[in-house]
Amino acid sequence: MLRSAAALVLGVLLIPAVTFAKPAKHRPKKPRTTESAEWAKTPSAKYGALSKAACLTELKQRKIAFSEVSAAAGVLAPVRLKGPLSGVVFRTEAPEAERQKSPHEVYDCRLVLALHDFGAILKAKGVEEAILFSAWRPPPKSWPTGKLATRHPGALAADIRRLIFAPDDQHRRADLVVERDWTPKRDTPPCSGDVSPDTKDAKTLRSIFCEADEKRLFTVMLSPNYDSAHANHFHLEVTPGVKWRLVL
Determine, yes or no, domain membership for 36. no
At 12, the pLDDT band (50, 70, 90 cuts) reads very low
The separation between CA 42 and the C-alpha centre of its own chain, rounded to angstroms, equals 17
Q: Which of 97-101, 160-164, 230-234 has the lowest mean pLDDT?
A: 97-101
Of 100 and 26, more confident: 100
The per-residue pLDDT for 36 is 67
Residue 131 pairs in a beta bridge with 91, 162
Classify 30 as helix, strand or coil.
Answer: coil
Angle at 180 between CA 174 and CA 186, to 5 degrees: 140
Determine, yes or no, domain membership for 22. no
The per-residue pLDDT for 5 is 42
pLDDT per residue as tens digits for the range 152-200: 999 999 999 999 999 887 778 899 999 999 999 998 999 988 888 889 9
- What gap in Å lies between CA 159 and CA 234, rounded to an integer? 5
Q: Which candidate, 238, 190, 241, places its Cα nearest to that of 43? A: 238
Radius of gyration of the chain (CA): 22
Determine, yes or no, domain membership for 230. yes
Domain residue limits at 191:
46-138+149-247
Instruction: Spell out where the chain has E strands.
Output: 33-34, 66-68, 78-81, 89-91, 106-108, 127-132, 157-165, 175-177, 220-222, 234-237, 244-247
What's the sign of the alpha-carbon dihedral 117, 123, 128, 130?
negative
At 70, the pLDDT band (50, 70, 90 cuts) reads very high
Determine, yes or no, domain membership for 235. yes
What predicted TM-score, i.e. pTM, was given to this entire model? 0.86
Determine, yes or no, domain membership for 232. yes
Determine, yes or no, domain membership for 217. yes
End-to-end CA distance of the chain: 58
Give φ, ψ of 137 to 5 degrees: -125, 105
Angle at 29 between CA 179 and CA 140, to 5 degrees: 70
The per-residue pLDDT for 26 is 40
At 39, the pLDDT band (50, 70, 90 cuts) reads confident
CATH of the domain at 210: 3.30.1380
Determine, yes or no, domain membership for 15. no
Determine, yes or no, domain membership for 34. no
245: pLDDT strictly greater than 50: yes
Q: How many domains does the chain have?
A: 1
129: pLDDT strictly greater than 50: yes
DSSP labels, 86-132: TTBEEE-SS-HHHHTT-GGGEEEHHHHHHHHHHHHHHHHTTEEEEEE
Q: CB-side exposure of 69: number of CA atoms within 13 Å?
A: 24
The per-residue pLDDT for 54 is 99
Are 234 and 221 in contact, with CB atoms under 8 Å apart?
A: yes
The overall average pLDDT reported for the chain is 88
